[in-house]
């Protein structure tokens, strides 16, 4: 059935369900009809027992009863009568001779009422038998009234034949109506399929019309439109990423080509050749760094980079990064101030986190004017390590803040050509922090500086240690040895 279309699957399931219900209904109907007919038959037998009981009560002798019963009950269309004494001697029987005398499965007394049972008489077939024991002036009598069940069985068989003939017809009608109803129900699905086939990479702005957003087809259409919208954004991002990457790569290549052509165009002094080689080496370094960043991002996107779960002391890691970045801060006369309230331990990759902190500090120093200040703060709040890197630099406008983590985004495009970077550092930082289960956000105002806040989950072992003993303060140690 898996290879069939949904229309045929719905039709067959509908036909199967209807067939099961019809079979159950037919079975119950036959049982009810049989029980109803038996009930009416028993009522008739009960009435005949009452009638012949009246004759027994009126008769003064067996001879008188036999004469009166013969006049009333000898010729009867539907019922047979048999009256015997407790020893089995026949006192009266109707015109039809029934032998042997049907036995009563359980003796009854006058107080126990009538007894009904179905018996099969040899040569006569199935009979419904009503019997009772009643007193008379000439002794107790066993009275039996019988009627043939063959008409009932014939009617039952006729009903079963009718059901057996009509059931396949009903199933065929169900299949036909199921095909029609399924076709009408799935017509909108086919319309959605046809509309979807018209959408390709050239018209991703097209959307599938939604007739009824509240039913299942409408929900499917909305989901497809949402998927198409995400694909449109993804294609747009890929195109923009390709264009930006091409531009970023083309700029150092053009510089390399220009410098090489200038060096070959005329003979130069050794100093000029050294200057040209220095420029080329700078562009090659920049191009190599861009390639590394692109490779890093592509690995993050592909899920190739796996996060290590090694215990890391964040205070020690930040101290090392501050030591590495300190010469750059001193060269620009910028004060680098760390503020570590307590030691924090997280699980992760120390190399990846070092790269994140180094890039953020490098950006803070790069866009802070001489005489400014860059601060690094670390604190543990319950199960979260809070790292804040703040500067007194030029800041970022509110219009640019939402796009800072976009790849190749430049607040000032001229920064790229002046050594401002490729616009991939923050994207790499967000990917690395997210890989550690943390978050990163930026707050900034033009002319008042920028604050980057990173939150990382603290390891469970570090939480228990911190609760049992106070954390050490490393601010004084660092500031006494590394004051800017």
Cα 273 to Cα 16, 255, 264, 270: the distances in Å are 88, 15, 10, 5
Task: Give, in degrees to the nearest 5, the angle at Cα 287 between 394 and 279.
Answer: 85
Cα 151 to Cα 127, 130, 156: the distances in Å are 10, 18, 8
The model's pLDDT over 286-309, given as tens digits with 9 standing for 90+, comes to 788 777 767 776 766 666 666 677
Q: Which CATH class is domain 216-302?
A: mainly alpha
If you search the block for the tokens 């294609």, which residue do you land on? 235
What's phi and psi for 228, nearest 5 deg?
-65, -40
- Residue 116 above 80 pLDDT? yes
The model's pLDDT over 334-360, given as tens digits with 9 standing for 90+, comes to 988 888 766 788 888 888 888 888 888
Q: Which helix (H) or strand (E) holds 130?
A: strand 125-134
Q: Do domains 6-156 and 216-302 have the same CATH topology?
A: no
pLDDT at 390: 92
Question: Encoding tokens for residue 117?
Answer: 């049972």
Q: How confident is the model at residue 111 (pLDDT cuts 50, 70, 90)?
A: very low
Helix axis angle, 314-331 to 475-482, nearest 10°: 20
If you search the block for the tokens 């800041």, which residue do you land on? 395
Strands 335-340 and 373-381: parallel
| 311-322 exposure pattern, b = at least 16 Cβ within 10 A, e = fewer | ebebbebbbebb
**Are 354 and 321 a contacting pair, CB within 8 Å?**
yes
**Are 295 and 305 a contacting pair, CB within 8 Å?**
no
Helix axis angle, 270-302 to 216-265, nearest 10°: 170
pLDDT at 470: 47
**Are 247 and 287 a contacting pair, CB within 8 Å?**
no
pLDDT at 1: 55
What average pLDDT score do residues 169-189 get? 84
* Residue-range domain boundaries for the chain: 6-156, 216-302, 310-482
User: Domain 6-156 belongs to what topology?
Assistant: Beta-Lactamase (3.30.450)
Question: Encoding tokens for residue 90?
Answer: 């026949």
How remote is the C-alpha of 412 from its chain's centroid?
Answer: 45
- Residue 13 above 50 pLDDT? yes
**Are 52 and 69 a contacting pair, CB within 8 Å?**
yes
pLDDT at 301: 64
CATH number for 310-482 (one of 3.60.20.10, 3.40.50.12780, 1.10.3720.10, 3.30.565.10): it is: 3.30.565.10
Q: What is the DSSP string of 400-469?
A: TGGGTTSTT--SSTHHHHTT---S-HHHHHHHHHHHTT-EEEEEEETTTEEEEEEEEEBPHHHHHHHHHS
- Residue 418 above 60 pLDDT? no
If you search the block for the tokens 């008188």, which residue do you land on? 64
Indicate whether this model's pTM tops 0.75. no
Q: How confident is the model at residue 465 (pLDDT cuts 50, 70, 90)?
A: low
How remote is the C-alpha of 11 from its chain's centroid?
Answer: 25
Question: Encoding tokens for residue 44?
Answer: 């008739």
pLDDT at 412: 58
Task: Give, in degrees to the nearest 5, the angle at Cα 25 between 20 and 26.
Answer: 100
**Are 389 and 364 a contacting pair, CB within 8 Å?**
yes
The Cα–Cα gap between 258 and 252 comes to: 10
The 3-state DSSP class for residue 261 equals: helix
Torsion-angle region of 419 (φ positive above 0: left; ψ -120 to 50: alpha; else: beta):
left
Cα 442 to Cα 85, 142, 390, 402, 452: the distances in Å are 112, 106, 10, 9, 5
What average pLDDT score do residues 388-413 get? 78
Strands 90-93 and 79-84: antiparallel
Per the prediction, the chain carries an average pLDDT of 80
The Cα–Cα gap between 471 and 218 comes to: 57
pLDDT at 370: 87
The Cα–Cα gap between 276 and 56 comes to: 141
The Cα–Cα gap between 228 and 181 comes to: 30
Strands 310-313 and 384-391: unpaired
Pinpoint the alpha helices (H) of 266-313.
Answer: 270-302
**Are 368 and 332 a contacting pair, CB within 8 Å?**
yes
Alpha-carbon torsion, ordered 407, 413, 417, 421, to 10 deg: -30
Helices and strands in the chain, H and E counts: 12, 12
- Contacts of the segment 368-374: beta carbons below 8 A, 24+ positions apart: 368/332, 368/334, 368/392, 368/393, 368/394, 368/449, 369/393, 369/394, 370/332, 370/333, 370/334, 371/333, 371/334, 372/334, 372/335, 373/334, 373/335, 373/337, 374/329, 374/334, 374/335, 374/336, 374/337
What average pLDDT score do residues 391-408 get? 81
The model's pLDDT over 58-78, given as tens digits with 9 standing for 90+, comes to 888 888 888 888 888 877 778
Least confident of 28-42, 183-197, 235-249, 368-382: 235-249
């Amino acid at each position: 059935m898996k290879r069939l279309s949904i229309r045929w699957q719905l039709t067959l399931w509908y036909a199967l369900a209807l067939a099961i219900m019809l079979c159950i209904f037919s079975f119950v109907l036959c049982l009810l009809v049989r029980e109803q007919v038996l009930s009416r038959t028993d009522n008739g037998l009960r009435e005949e027992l009452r009638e012949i009981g009246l004759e027994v009560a009126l008769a003064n002798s067996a001879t008188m009863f036999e004469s009166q019963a013969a006049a009333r009950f000898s010729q009867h269309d539907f019922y047979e009568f048999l009256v015997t004494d407790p020893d089995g001697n026949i006192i009266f029987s109707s015109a039809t001779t029934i032998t042997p005398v049907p036995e009563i499965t359980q003796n009854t007394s006058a107080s126990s009422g009538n007894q009904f049972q179905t018996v099969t008489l040899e040569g006569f077939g199935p009979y419904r038998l009503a019997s009772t024991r009643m007193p008379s002036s000439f002794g107790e009598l066993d009275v039996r009234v019988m009627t043939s069940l063959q008409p009932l069985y014939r009617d039952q068989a006729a009903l079963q034949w009718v059901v057996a003939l009509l059931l396949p017809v009903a199933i065929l009608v169900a299949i036909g109506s199921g095909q029609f109803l399924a076709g009408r129900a799935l017509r909108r699905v086919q319309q959605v399929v046809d509309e979807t086939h018209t959408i390709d990479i050239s018209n991703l702005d097209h959307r599938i019309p939604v007739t009824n957003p509240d039913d299942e087809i409408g929900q499917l259409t909305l989901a497809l439109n949402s998927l198409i919208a995400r694909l449109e954004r993804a294609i747009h991002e890929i195109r923009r990423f390709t264009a930006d990457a091409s531009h970023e790569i083309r700029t150092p290549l053009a510089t390399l080509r220009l410098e090489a052509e200038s060096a070959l165009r005329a003979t130069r002094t050794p100093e000029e050749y050294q200057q040209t080689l220095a420029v080329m080496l700078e562009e090659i370094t920049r191009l190599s760094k861009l390639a590394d960043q692109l490779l890093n991002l592509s690995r993050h996107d592909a899920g190739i980079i796996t996060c290590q779960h090694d215990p890391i002391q964040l205070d020690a890691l930040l101290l090392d990064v501050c030591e590495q970045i300190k010469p750059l801060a001193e060269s620009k006369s910028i004060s680098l101030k760390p503020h570590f309230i307590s030691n924090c331990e997280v699980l992760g990759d120390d190399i990846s986190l070092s790269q994140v902190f180094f890039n953020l500090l490098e950006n803070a120093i790069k866009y802070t004017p001489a005489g400014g200040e860059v601060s690094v703060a670390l604190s543990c709040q319950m199960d979260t390590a809070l790292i804040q890197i703040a500067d007194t630099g030029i800041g970022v406008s509110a219009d640019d803040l939402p796009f800072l983590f976009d790849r190749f985004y430049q607040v000032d495009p001229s920064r790229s050509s002046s050594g401002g970077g490729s616009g991939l550092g923050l994207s790499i930082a967000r990917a690395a922090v997210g890989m550690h289960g943390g978050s990163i956000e930026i707050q900034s105002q033009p002319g008042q500086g920028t604050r980057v806040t990173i939150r990382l989950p603290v390891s469970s072992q570090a939480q228990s240690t911190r609760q049992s003993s106070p954390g050490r303060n490393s601010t004084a140690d660092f500031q006494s040895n590394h004051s800017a």
